[in-house]
Amino acid sequence: MPNGRFAPSPTGDLHLGNLRTALVAWLFARASGGRFVVRMEDLDRVASNREVAARQLDDLALLGLDWDGPVRFQSDRFARYDAAIDRLSAAGLTYPCYCTRREIRDAISAPQGTAASEGTYPGTCRDLSEAERAERERAGRPAALRLRSAHQTVAVIDRLHGVYRSRVDDVVLRRNDGVPAYNLAVVVDDAAMGVEQVVRADDLLPVSPSQSHLGHLLGLDGVTYAHVPLVLGADGDRLAKRHGSVTLRDLAADGITAGQVTSRLAASLGLARPGESVTTAALVDRFDPDALPTTSWRVTPWPEAPWPA
């Protein structure tokens, strides 16, 4: 019975794509008798907002999704991330990086035929001498901290995509403003919260090998993955606010209830007939991970879509 999670960033109201992923993650956990936890990924303390987090939790509850234990906030857990980084540093697996984003973009776009052309960090600061590092520090250049990876290829098994392989990059562990980086934080948190199965949107599939590798280096239990196809707007682009009424509050203003949203999400997953009214609780017995769609769902605007009455 794998335990699952939903981990949004509290920077804005959840849209239909977020809610659909939350529903699938909840069903994966509940259908197998597992626990389901919620974590707010608010590392970006400028853009994140606790009032937004509260609205997101309200939206999950309106869809009939419940969770076990208290909601965790990453902004409260920096000590855990710092301890993990210290462990990697003690093993000689980190180095400071003084590159700006622009310098990295320029290096990646250079016609060198090296790792840079593959979109990974080009290693500019990987082997700097102590004198070179001191020179950059005297110039006031803030340093991020990167993983000194072996650049091996790591494979993960995804429930929807099968085996996925990619080369592990020198990922950032701590940003140059001192904030722990996403890739490290999610690995530490999933282990600490007992998460065994990560269900999320498939735009994050490419980072899964690096996260799996980080977990291995830290001696943490691994997770399994299920990356759900993205939800698209009617124009074929990734669903966003510009597509109109895409949040529960927007839809409620148009007279569409949370129950209707639940039913339409279920239909998009093949768990209900178009127009059938269902509840999340009823979907648990219908859920079959092997029958989930593997292509993106394109949302058409009301009233063209078959919303149940």
Q: So which residues are the catalytic ones? A: 241
Give the position of tokens 């009617």.
Answer: 234
- Cis check for the bond before 308: say yes or no (omega within 30 of 0): no
Taking a C-beta distance cutoff of 8 angstroms, is the pair 12, 55 a contact? no
Residue 210 per-residue DSSP state: H
For CA atoms 280, 240, 156, 212, give the dihedral sign: negative
Cβ contact 302:254 at 8 Å: yes
CB under 8 Å to 236, separation ≥6 — which residues?
298
Residue with tokens 């990086």: 97
The total number of residues shown for the chain amounts to: 309
Residue 91 DSSP SS3: coil
**b (16+ CB within 10 A) / e for 40-54:** bbbbeeeebeeebbe
**Contact criterion met (CB below 8 Å) for 150 and 171:** no
In this structure, what token pair is assigned to residue 212? 């799996």
